[in-house]
């Protein structure tokens, strides 16, 4: 649907749609979403809550809660294989060692009754068991256990955790938020995935820690040869680490571009609105500029552009049909009738 | 954070509580009659030799706080008074009857877990289906039943209708009772290789234990079911899936381990139920344990026995609660910090 | 406060839609009605005099004339069971009410003020918890002597700790909330703070527990009665009846089983009610 296919795409999502069954009707969480990620790159998907960004992440790794999710259509091609066509067991074989995911609140995302070292070790064991498919049993011999322990320590070192031997024997509740998130990253990366999906990994952290974790993720990408799909509501976060940025609204991608290009020349009115929301702190600014209008009701299906009710540049055409995501110049994609 | 420190603190608390219980029994013993001898000897207080001995040993003519001190001294030395209707010191009677009650308690706990845990897992797995609702109905009936109903019920069905199990006693008449080594008849019969004695004893302990288990397993099932459902929605389960953990490991190693934590808190309810229920169950099944002893003491107005049994049962409960607390700390690492 | 009454109405609606609630309420109301009727009108409400012997053949099975059969002395079992209803229910309601009140006061104060008051409360409840209710009641009974009133006293003495604990927990939580600070700094009197903020929260949590607990008191009282510590024969009482009739388990099983089932029925009724209450309270606090 207008996305350039590059030879080295790790992930290629085409026309992905997801509906949720809710007590108040069917919610159209994702509508025909297409996005691609090259190897060794970091793409940030930015959107407000309800934009569908988390759904996108969960759909790729196959963790959408299956009721209430239904009607999953489209293609999710990972290294050429359409994951949506696979059965449960096959998808599970991709999780962890091919596609990994880390989540927003590290305190609830780590098992409270096991030490963090044990949890990382479990990830490593799964990876090892998959490599040597003949020995699926998890009977550790003595030196294997020792090796794994060493690897746990080094994975903690890699995420710059101080005193990793000590930390490995701690329970999650004994660590700070930033440390826990590093542990989650260490755990995910220890399985050596080619794609890491990070769903709001820094939202629960304070600004300083946020910056550190983001920088860490960026650096590790090259060290470990992993691509990252970063999901966030915060443009500032995206600007710090992304190669490309995709903006989502109402379950659709409305703009996608290389990061500097997006920030210097935003095309879609929504992106524009988002960027002007950020207070610059300059003397000329007298008031904050919100995006006018109400949040979209995703239970409705729209035959027109979803942003039309709030768009300062709306035309008649916008109420008549929906714009497709198309390249406007080079690799800068936008879904807006202003540019057609 | 240290498990050892935690245990020590709980131990201290337990000692304090036991002291409090001793205060209560001491107070009760003095409310029984103005003559403190009655609390020690019951109707035997008429026996001048015994009476003189007790007055001397425990300073029963001295002010209350002195008496309390000697009361504690007596307790710690195992002197709990004299039981007239039994014709022996209370401590002797307890030594005879306690093992039988503990046998029932052991099997009752085993059965409670054996019934309660699988049903809890099933109810969670088949949530909101017929299976779930019938399990709820089943355990609700159990919990709601007064202590004696289940015993009578089992008697009617298993003994009088199906003729599967004996109606009472610890052993069938004619069975050779084992020589007391540990004082626990079932263990002793095993140790001595008396197989027929062992199986007979087992057959006699099943119904009392089952009567107790059926009344209490419902709490475990209910809590476990709710807990499992809760845990399955937790974020760390999602993380485990994202790591590629398979569903079986996910359920047992991740979910169940967390879900069983609230169940451990039920331990004190279970123990209290067992201790109370055993009074009735032993009477109905004529099982010679502490419960039967207590009820006999009641009808004989044997104060020394009653007070001693109250104390002993409290000790059992306090010790079980202590064990449960320690178990809880083992299972839930967060608790150790407090 | 119109907000309050609207909330209560909504609560009632949410509550009554639950099957558990309807079933439980029905059972409980039936028993309460019977209890009140007997308490007021006495023996005239039942077909036969409950203590009169030989109103029918001995050990007769249930029939139209004798709904629950007759016992070994020819007394009508149905009449006896009905007449005994106020005993269990009255004792339970009284014990729970007093425990509730005592618990709220002691627990609320201890939780709110904390410090040594709290410690004292916690330790004394620890000690009482260590002795099983039934055994303690038995000991008290042995000292005071048997009888309905004495058993009620005994139970009242030992039943309040869980309520105090609940109230204390709620009071502790509330006392640390910010709006209490706000109320204090704006000069609201302590009593008003307690009344307006503390009590509604505590009330909710304890109400559900109390309803479930009534069932437990019924069971414990039935146990005490079974042991002969409550009303003496020939006055009918459910627990005592089970004991008296249990020798007839084989020849006339309805004799011990009917009173036992009735006790279970009361407990089930209150359990359903209590469960429904608790679930509705939870659901309401989420919405």
Facing C127 at nearest CB: one of B20, B272, B298: B20
Extended strands (E) in B61-204: 82-83, 88-89
More confident residue, C130 or B173: C130
Q: What is d(CA C83, CA B67) in angstroms, rounded to the nearest whole number?
A: 48
Q: Residue A147 is encoded by which pair of tokens? A: 């090796």
| Contacts A113 to B, Cβ<8 Å | 257-258, 261, 331-333
Q: What is d(CA B197, CA A211) in angstroms, rounded to the nearest whole number?
A: 74
* Residue C124 zone, left/alpha/beta (φ > 0; ψ -120 to 50; rest): alpha
Cis bond before residue C234 (omega within 30° of 0): yes
Q: What is the pTM of this model?
A: 0.81
The residue-averaged pLDDT of A8-37 equals 87
The residue-averaged pLDDT of A186-195 equals 91
In chain C, which residues have pLDDT < 50?
1-2
Count other C-beta atoms under 10 Å from residue A272's C-beta.
16
Provide the H-helix boundaries in chain A: 53-61, 88-94, 106-109, 116-131, 142-158, 164-168, 177-190, 207-224, 235-241, 259-264, 269-277, 316-320
Q: Are residues A308 and A209 in the same domain?
A: yes
Whether the CB-CB separation of A276 and A289 falls below 8 Å is answered with yes
Report pLDDT for A133: 57
The residue-averaged pLDDT of B11-18 equals 88
Report pLDDT for C111: 77
**CB spacing of B306 vs C138 below 8 angstroms:** yes
Using CA atoms, how far residue B199 sits from B189, B284, B285, in Å, is: 9, 21, 17
CB environment A3-13: b (16+ within 10 A), e (fewer):
beeeeebbbbb
- For A71, counting Cβ atoms within 10 Å of its Cβ (0-12 exposed, 13-18 middle, 19+ buried), the class is exposed
Report pLDDT for A138: 52
Report pLDDT for A196: 93
User: Where residue A1 falls among pLDDT bands split at 50, 70, 90?
Assistant: very low
Q: Residue A227 is encoded by which pair of tokens? A: 């691509």
pLDDT tens digit sequence for B117-146: 999 999 988 888 889 889 988 888 888 888
Residues of A with CB under 8 A from a CB of B: 61, 63, 92-97, 100-103, 105, 108-113, 122-123, 126, 130, 171, 173, 184, 187-188, 191
Whether residue B199 is predicted with pLDDT greater than 50 in this model: the reply is yes
* Residue A245 zone, left/alpha/beta (φ > 0; ψ -120 to 50; rest): beta
- Grouping H, G, I as helix, E, B as strand and the rest as coil, residue B8 is helix
The DSSP letter of residue A323 is: P
Cis bond before residue C155 (omega within 30° of 0): no
For Cα atoms B298, C129, C94, give the angle at the middle one, nearest 5 degrees. Answer: 75
CATH number at residue A258: 3.40.50.300
Last residue of a domain, one of A175, A192, A209: A192
In a domain, A276, yes or no: yes
Report pLDDT for B101: 92
Contacts of B240 (CB under 8 A, 6+ apart): A111, B250, B254
Q: Are residues A92 and A121 in the same domain?
A: no
Whether the CB-CB separation of B188 and B219 falls below 8 Å is answered with no
Q: Are residues A210 and A77 in the same domain?
A: yes
* The most confident of A217-226, B61-70, B74-83, by mean pLDDT: A217-226
Q: Are residues A261 and A276 in the same domain?
A: yes
Whether residue B209 is predicted with pLDDT greater than 90 in this model: the reply is yes
CB environment B208-233: b (16+ within 10 A), e (fewer):
bbbbbbbbbbbbbbbbbbebbeebbe
Nearest CA in chain B to C212: B144
Whether residue A292 is predicted with pLDDT greater than 80 in this model: the reply is no
Among the listed residues B301, B154, B284, the one whose alpha carbon sits nearest the alpha carbon of residue B214? B154
- Chains C and B, touching by 3 or more CB pairs within 8 angstroms: yes
Return the C-alpha torsion angle B44, B50, B56, B62, nearest 10: 10
Q: Are residues A248 and A331 in the same domain?
A: yes
Residue at token pair 């256990």: A145
- Grouping H, G, I as helix, E, B as strand and the rest as coil, residue A303 is coil
| ipTM confidence score | 0.84
Whether residue A82 is predicted with pLDDT greater than 50 in this model: the reply is yes
Percentage of chain B surpassing pLDDT 70?
96
Q: What is d(CA B295, CA B300) in angstroms, rounded to the nearest whole number?
A: 9
CA distance C37 to chain B (A): 25
Long-range contacts at B291-294 (CB < 8 A, ≥ 24 apart): B291/B101, B292/B97, B293/B86, B293/B93, B293/B94, B293/B97, B294/C135, B294/C138
Whether residue C142 lies within 8 A of chain B, CB to CB, comes out as yes
Q: Residue B98 is encoded by which pair of tokens? A: 């306690």
> Percentage helix, strand, coil, to 5, in chain A?
40, 25, 40
Report pLDDT for A2: 44
Report pLDDT for A110: 93
The residue-averaged pLDDT of B262-267 equals 85
Using CA atoms, how far residue B200 sits from A113, B97, B166, B204, in Å, is: 43, 18, 9, 6
Q: What is d(CA A174, CA C104) in angstroms, rounded to the nearest whole number?
A: 36
Mutation target to probe the B interface, by most B beta carbons within 10 A, among A113, A186, A204 is: A113
Q: What is d(CA C11, CA C104) in angstroms, rounded to the nearest whole number?
A: 23
Contacts of C159 (CB under 8 A, 6+ apart): C95, C96, C98, C99, C133, C217
Q: Are residues A262 and A114 in the same domain?
A: no
Q: What is d(CA A97, CA B243) in angstroms, rounded to the nearest whole number?
A: 8
In a domain, A285, yes or no: yes
**Residue A117 exposure: Cα atoms within 13 Å on the Cβ side:** 19
Q: What is d(CA B144, CA B215) in angstroms, rounded to the nearest whole number?
A: 8
Q: Are residues A165 and A261 in the same domain?
A: no
| Contacts B147 to C, Cβ<8 Å | 219, 223
CB environment C9-20: b (16+ within 10 A), e (fewer):
eebeebbeebeb
Report pLDDT for B87: 79
pLDDT tens digit sequence for A311-322: 888 888 888 888
The domain in which residue A169 lies consists of 107-192
- For the CA atoms of chain B, what is the radius of gyration? 24
**CB spacing of B243 vs A126 below 8 angstroms:** yes
In a domain, A151, yes or no: yes
Q: What is d(CA A97, CA A126) in angstroms, rounded to the nearest whole number?
A: 8
In a domain, A227, yes or no: yes
Phi, psi of A12 (to 5 degrees): -135, 110
Q: What is d(CA B235, CA C203) in angstroms, rounded to the nearest whole number?
A: 33
Last residue of a domain, one of A192, A222, A254: A192
* End-to-end Cα, chain A, rounded Å: 15
Report pLDDT for C287: 54
Whether the CB-CB separation of A299 and A31 falls below 8 Å is answered with no
Signed CA dihedral, B253, B258, B264, B266: sign only: negative
Q: Which CATH number fits domain C16-286: 3.30.9.100, 1.10.3720.10, 1.10.10.10, 1.10.357.20?
A: 1.10.3720.10
In a domain, A243, yes or no: yes
More confident residue, C5 or B94: B94
| Contacts A133 to B, Cβ<8 Å | none
| Contacts B85 to C, Cβ<8 Å | none
Report pLDDT for B26: 85
Q: What is d(CA B124, CA B228) in angstroms, rounded to the nearest whole number?
A: 6
Contacts of C37 (CB under 8 A, 6+ apart): C45
Q: Are residues A339 and A206 in the same domain?
A: yes
Whether the CB-CB separation of B209 and B108 falls below 8 Å is answered with yes
Report pLDDT for C235: 86
Q: Residue A306 is encoded by which pair of tokens? A: 């979803």
Q: Are residues A321 and A181 in the same domain?
A: no
The number of distinct structural domains making up chain A is 2
Last residue of a domain, one of A192, A209, A240: A192
**CB spacing of B334 vs A112 below 8 angstroms:** yes
More confident residue, A41 or B52: A41
Count other C-beta atoms under 10 Å from residue A39's C-beta.
16
Q: Are residues A79 and A203 in the same domain?
A: yes
| Contacts B258 to A, Cβ<8 Å | 111-113
More confident residue, A55 or C167: A55
In a domain, A2, yes or no: no
More confident residue, A160 or B165: A160
The three state secondary structure string of C7-39 is: HHHHHHHHHHCCHHHHHHHHHHHHHHHHHHHHH
More confident residue, B188 or C183: B188
* End-to-end Cα, chain C, rounded Å: 20
Signed CA dihedral, C35, C40, C42, C48: sign only: negative
| Contacts B272 to C, Cβ<8 Å | 132-133
Report pLDDT for C193: 63
Q: Are residues A207 and A272 in the same domain?
A: yes
pLDDT tens digit sequence for A191-234: 989 999 999 988 888 888 888 888 888 888 888 889 999 999 98
Whether residue A139 is predicted with pLDDT greater than 70 in this model: the reply is no
For B215-276, the DSSP string reads HHHHHHHHHHHHHHHHHHTSHHHHHHHHHT--HHHIIIIIIIHHHHHHHHTTHHHHHHHHHH
More confident residue, B176 or A68: A68
Q: Are residues A87 and A26 in the same domain?
A: yes
Phi, psi of B259 (to 5 degrees): -70, -25
Whether the CB-CB separation of C71 and C77 falls below 8 Å is answered with yes
Whether the CB-CB separation of B227 and B257 falls below 8 Å is answered with no
Nearest CA in chain C to B20: C127
Phi, psi of C53 (to 5 degrees): -85, 160
């Amino acid at each position: 649907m207008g996305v350039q296919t590059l030879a080295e795409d790790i992930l290629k999502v085409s026309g992905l749609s997801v509906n949720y069954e809710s007590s108040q009707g069917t919610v159209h969480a994702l509508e025909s979403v297409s996005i691609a990620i090259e190897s060794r790159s970091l793409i940030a998907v930015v959107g407000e809550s309800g934009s569908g960004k988390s759904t996108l992440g969960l759909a790729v790794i196959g963790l959408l809660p299956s009721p209430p999710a239904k009607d999953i259509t489209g293609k999710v091609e990972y290294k050429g294989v359409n994951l949506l066509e696979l059965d449960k067991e096959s998808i599970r074989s991709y999780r962890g060692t091919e596609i990994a995911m880390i989540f927003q609140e590290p305190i609830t995302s780590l098992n409270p009754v096991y030490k963090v070292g044990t949890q990382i070790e479990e990830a490593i064991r799964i990876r090892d068991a998959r490599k040597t498919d003949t020995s699926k049993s998890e009977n550790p011999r003595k030196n294997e256990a020792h090796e794994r322990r060493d690897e746990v320590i080094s994975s903690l070192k890699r995420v710059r955790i101080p005193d990793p031997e000590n930390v490995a024997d701690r329970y999650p509740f004994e660590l700070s938020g930033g440390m826990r998130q590093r542990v989650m990253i260490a755990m995910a990366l220890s399985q050596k995935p080619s794609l890491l999906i990070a769903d709001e990994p820094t939202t629960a952290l304070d600004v300083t820690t946020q910056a550190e974790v983001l920088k860490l993720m960026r650096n590790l990408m090259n060290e470990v040869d992993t691509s990252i799909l970063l999901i966030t509501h915060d443009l500032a976060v995206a600007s710090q680490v992304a190669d490309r940025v995709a903006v989502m609204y109402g379950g659709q991608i409305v703009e996608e571009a290389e990061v500097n290009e997006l920030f210097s020349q935003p095309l879609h009115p929504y992106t524009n609105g988002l960027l002007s929301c950020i207070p610059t702190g300059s003397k000329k600014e007298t008031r904050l500029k919100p995006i006018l209008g109400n949040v979209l009701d995703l239970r409705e299906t729209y035959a027109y552009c979803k942003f039309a009710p709030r768009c300062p540049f709306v035309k008649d055409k916008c109420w008549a049909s929906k714009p497709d995501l198309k390249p406007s110049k080079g690799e800068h994609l936008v879904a807006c009738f202003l540019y057609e | 954070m240290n498990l050892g420190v935690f245990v020590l603190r709980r131990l201290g608390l337990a000692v304090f509580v036991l002291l409090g219980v001793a205060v209560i029994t001491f107070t009760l013993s003095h409310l029984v009659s103005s003559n403190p001898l009655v609390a020690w000897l019951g109707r035997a207080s008429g026996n001048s030799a015994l009476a003189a001995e007790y007055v001397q040993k425990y300073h029963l003519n001295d002010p209350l706080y002195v008496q309390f001190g000697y009361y504690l001294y007596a307790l710690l030395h195992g002197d709990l008074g004299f039981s007239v209707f039994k014709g022996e010191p209370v401590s002797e009677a307890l030594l005879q009857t306690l093992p039988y009650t503990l046998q029932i308690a052991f099997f009752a706990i085993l059965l409670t877990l054996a019934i309660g845990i699988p049903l809890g897992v099933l109810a969670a797995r088949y949530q909101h289906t017929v299976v779930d609702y019938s399990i709820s109905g089943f355990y609700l009936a159990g919990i709601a039943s007064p202590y004696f109903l289940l015993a009578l019920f089992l008697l009617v069905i298993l003994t009088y209708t199906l003729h599967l199990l004996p109606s009472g006693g610890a052993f069938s008449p004619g069975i050779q009772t084992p020589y007391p080594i540990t004082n626990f008849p079932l263990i002793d019969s095993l140790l001595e290789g008396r197989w027929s004695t062992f199986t007979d004893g087992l057959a006699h302990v099943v119904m009392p234990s089952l009567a107790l288990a059926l009344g209490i397993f419902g709490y475990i099932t209910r809590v476990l079911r709710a807990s499992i459902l809760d845990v399955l929605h937790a974020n760390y389960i999602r993380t485990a899936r994202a790591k590629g953990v398979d569903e079986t490991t996910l359920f047992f190693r991740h979910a169940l381990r967390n879900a069983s934590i609230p169940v451990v808190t039920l331990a004190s309810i279970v123990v209290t139920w067992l201790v109370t229920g055993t009074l009735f169950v032993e009477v109905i099944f004529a099982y010679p344990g502490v419960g039967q002893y207590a009820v006999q003491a009641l009808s004989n107005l044997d104060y020394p026995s009653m007070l001693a049994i109250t104390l002993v049962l409290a000790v059992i409960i306090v010790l079980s609660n202590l064990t449960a607390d320690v178990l809880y700390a083992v299972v839930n690492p967060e608790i150790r910090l407090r | 406060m119109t907000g309050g009454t609207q909330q209560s109405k909504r609560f009632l609606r949410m509550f009554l839609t639950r099957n558990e609630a309807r079933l439980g309420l029905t059972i409980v109301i039936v028993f309460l009605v019977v209890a009140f009727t007997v308490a007021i009108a006495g023996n005239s409400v039942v077909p036969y005099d409950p203590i009169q012997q030989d109103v029918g053949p001995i050990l007769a099975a249930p029939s139209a004339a004798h709904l629950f059969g007759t016992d070994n002395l020819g007394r009508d079992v149905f009449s006896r069971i009905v007449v005994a209803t106020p005993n269990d229910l009255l004792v339970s309601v009284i014990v729970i009410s007093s425990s509730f009140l005592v618990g709220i006061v002691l627990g609320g104060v201890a939780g709110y003020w904390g410090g040594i008051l709290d410690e004292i409360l916690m330790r004394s409840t620890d000690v009482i918890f260590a002795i099983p209710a039934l055994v303690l009641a038995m000991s008290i009974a042995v000292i005071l002597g048997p009888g309905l009133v004495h058993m009620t006293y005994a139970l009242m003495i030992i039943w309040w700790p869980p309520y105090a604990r609940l109230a204390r927990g709620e009071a502790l939580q509330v006392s640390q909330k910010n709006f209490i600070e706000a109320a204090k700094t704006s000069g609201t009197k302590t009593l008003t703070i307690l009344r307006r903020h503390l009590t509604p929260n505590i009330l909710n949590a304890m109400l559900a527990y109390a309803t479930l607990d009534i069932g437990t008191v019924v069971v414990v009282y039935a146990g005490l009665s079974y042991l002969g510590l409550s009303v003496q024969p020939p006055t009918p009482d459910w627990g005592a009846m089970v004991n008296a009739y249990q020798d007839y388990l084989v020849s006339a099983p309805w004799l011990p089983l009917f009173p036992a089932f009735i006790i279970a029925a009361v407990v089930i009724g209150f359990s359903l009610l209590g469960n429904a209450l608790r679930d509705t309270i939870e659901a309401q606090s989420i919405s």
